[in-house]
Structure 1
Amino acid sequence: MFPPPSTDPASTLRRAVNRLGRRMRAERLPDALPSGRLGLLAQLYREGPTTPGALATALHVQPQSLTRTLAALQEDGLVTRVRDAADGRQYRIELTQSGFAAMARDVEHRDAWLRARMEAELNETERELLRLAAGLLDRLAADEWPADERPSRG
């Protein structure tokens, strides 16, 4: 017999966030791009043009693993490579109008689904509480934790 799930606040939050994340991914449009491509477009959508190395760092992947995804997105006309004006040796990856439209369409679809669920399931106070919690979750997700304060992964 397995022990019941932990009631530790961190475990409870992790399970809820993971479950909502899976549910949001399930609410994709039928013709949506694969999730790896959407993740890359989403990063550019949120943060704007960047170098492939910075994009890999932001997505927590090796730069080599982005090569095929970037090539496919470029071939589909969703991103473009532009030589960096400040450093001509570097390229910056940018969303094209089509890439921006694809992301906006995906975001609008998922936001509409979540908005409808929130309005159907939650009262005004609960919706406001979630709005406040979203800011806290963004803070927890930030990559700005000083390295010397980061817990070990052992």
Structure 2
Amino acid sequence: MERVPTEVVTEIRHGIMRVSRRMRTARAPEALSSNKLTVLGHLHRNGPSTAGEVAGAEGQRPQSLTRVFAELEAEGLISRARADRDRRQIVLALTEQGVDALRRDVAERDAWLAGALAGLSETELDLLRVAARLMERLGE
């Protein structure tokens, strides 16, 4: 496969970063932190998990997320219980409040994105849909 020109890589990276930054700044000031959303999103996609499973999937160490887990539990967004197979392990699970918090955050970001996309043509939207699928593939 041919090497991708540096200017193409740079242009794509800049576009991704700019949209990501805009989506973050469009959120309410009281919105959950990105680390909290990462944990909630993981539990939503994968179901109950140990701290090590969550951290590993997100490229972090469990110790780095200890405070985040404690805060999410204190806010009623996750629960902790002993694992059935290994009673020494703690399993984290999303609560109904956690599901609601995640839905609100997604809805807020989707509303911003829908507004931003509203001015695009059908061709541009189709092109972005193809790009989104490719970015999903790259992210895996």
TM-score, with length taken from structure 1: 0.80
Larger RCO of the pair (alpha carbons < 8 Å, separation 6+): 2
Unpaired stretches in structure 2, ≥5 consecutive residues: none
In 2, Cα distance between equivalents of 1:136 and 1:86: 38
SS in 1 for 2:91: strand
Could you say which residue in structure 2 is the equivalent of 1:136?
134
SS in 2 for 1:40: helix
Indicate whether 1:26 and 2:58 are aligned. no
SS in 2 for 1:69: helix
Instruction: Give 1:88 shift.
Output: 3.1
Indicate whether 1:96 and 2:95 are aligned. yes
Tell whether the 8 Å contact from 1:42 to 1:103 is kept in structure 2 after alignment.
Answer: yes
Percent sequence identity over aligned pairs: 45
SS in 1 for 2:88: coil
Could you say which residue in structure 1 is the equivalent of 2:86?
87
SS in 1 for 2:60: coil
TM-score, with length taken from structure 2: 0.87
Indicate whether 1:113 and 2:117 are aligned. no
In 1, Cα distance between equivalents of 2:107 and 2:8: 31
SS in 2 for 1:13: helix
SS in 1 for 2:19: helix
Aligned partner letter, 1:118: L
In 1, Cα distance between equivalents of 2:64 and 2:6: 37
In 2, Cα distance between equivalents of 1:29 and 1:46: 24
In 2, Cα distance between equivalents of 1:10 and 1:86: 46
Unpaired stretches in structure 1, ≥5 consecutive residues: 1-5, 143-154
